[in-house]
Structure formats: structure tokens, C-alpha cells
Amino acid sequence: MLASGLVLCATAQTPAAPAAGQRFIPTTPDAATAAAAPAGPAKIAVINFQIAVAQTNEGQRDFADLQKKYAPKEASLKSLNDEIDNLTKQLQTQGATLSDADRDTRAKAIDEKKKELDRQTEDLRNDGQQDMQDLYNSLAAKVYDVMQSYVEQQGFTLVLDVSQQQSPVLYANQGTVITKAVIDAYNLKSGVPALEPGHEAAPGAQTAPRPARPAGSTPRQPASH
């Protein structure tokens, strides 16, 4: 329930902490910056920034911790949902033998439990999304710094983010895709070990979603051929 409700999203506004799906568009460079800019053709890199953040060892660890935090609440909601199902089935099978007053009493009790389930589910969704957004924003800022250092070292002059669904990138040579390189560089810098087998992976750790597109959308991946 929590995993399906959490979407990798962020609202950072500065270049040091860009949100997934946002592009860092620099302001007009001053004379010193312009003088330092390398001459010649642009060297372009492509990254799925959401995936880069989610697949870091730190991101997967923190997401697993978040899942553990909400596991008791999810279990409580499942128990309440099962109780509602059982009461509903009992009312359906025994309704003919009950008095009108008994049927009304049971139906009212079921309705109250359903309302409580809805309230608790909404609270869980809101709290979970806020925690996920805070987690993502904090980590995205650090991953961005590593990415920036990496592209400068490699001489890239432009980085395109294909996290967003409306990415204009239709094709990218595999040699220009730096997502894994940035993940590896961040893991090396952070020193956080990989999760042991069996732990929950972060959203996006597979070839897909998360926490700044509409829920249910799928990020476009750069072509590798």
C-alpha cells in the first residue's frame, strides 16, 4: 500500500539540489565563466536522475528503513480491511435471518469501519509521501553534487535528464549515458554498503518508477542501440 502510494518527487529550487524532472538551466554566464567555458563542440551526457538517486546504496538503504517505519501501520490497515471483509460476508450470508434492526446495526458498524479505514489510509499515504519527498530531496542534492563533479572531470558540457516523461531525448549512444557511472561515484564517496539480498529495493531500482511524475507513469529510457 505504501510502496504504491509513494512517488519519487521533489521541489528543490537551487542548482545544488535539483528536483527529479527539473532541469538546471544556468543564468547568463558572466565574463569569467564565459572565458572558462571550453571551446569546440558540446559534449553531451544523458542521465536518468531519479534512477540515479534511487539506485544508490544510500537511497536503497533509506527506502528500506522507511518501509520498516510504516510496516506496523500497513499491517494494522490490512487487519482492519480483513475485518471489514469478514463482517460484510457475514451480513450477506446471514442477512435473511436477521431482524431489520440487527441488519441496520451491522451495516452501520461496517460503514463506520470503512470510513475509519479510508481516514487511516489517507493519513498513511500523506505521511509516507512527505517522508519520501524529504528523503529524496536530501539525497538528490548530494547526488547532484557528485554528478556535477563527474561531468566536469569527464569534460561534458551539457547533461540531459530523461527522468521526466516529456523528455525530448529519442536516442542516445550508450557511451553518453552516465547514470550508472554517477551511481558508482556516489557509492564510492558515501561509503554506504549495498543492501544484503532480500531487502526491499527503492522505487526505480528496477528499470522503471518512484518519487516527480504523475503516479503510474514510466520514465523514458535512452536508447542503447
Asked whether residue 134 carries a pLDDT value surpassing 90, the answer given is yes
Question: Does any domain span residue 208?
Answer: no
Nearest to 186 by CA among 95, 51, 73: 51
Question: Does any domain span residue 29?
Answer: no
Range of the domain at 141: 2-19+41-190
pLDDT at 2 (0 to 100): 43
**Which tens digits make up the pLDDT trace of 135-192?**
999 999 999 999 999 999 999 999 999 998 788 888 888 889 999 999 999 999 999 9
DSSP 95: G
**Which tens digits make up the pLDDT trace of 16-43?**
334 444 444 443 445 454 445 555 678 9
pLDDT at 201 (0 to 100): 54
Question: Does any domain span residue 196?
Answer: no
**Which tens digits make up the pLDDT trace of 48-60?**
999 999 999 999 9
pLDDT at 198 (0 to 100): 67
* Total domains in the fold of the chain: 1
**Which tens digits make up the pLDDT trace of 68-96?**
999 999 999 999 999 999 999 999 998 88
Question: Does any domain span residue 169?
Answer: yes
Nearest to 10 by CA among 164, 201, 208, 191: 164
CA distance 200 to 198: 7
pLDDT at 104 (0 to 100): 92
pTM of the model: 0.66
Question: Does any domain span residue 84?
Answer: yes
pLDDT at 173 (0 to 100): 87
Encode 71-86: b = buried (16+ Cβ within 10 Å), e = exposed: eebbeebeebeeebee
For residue 112, what is the enclosing H or E element? helix 100-154
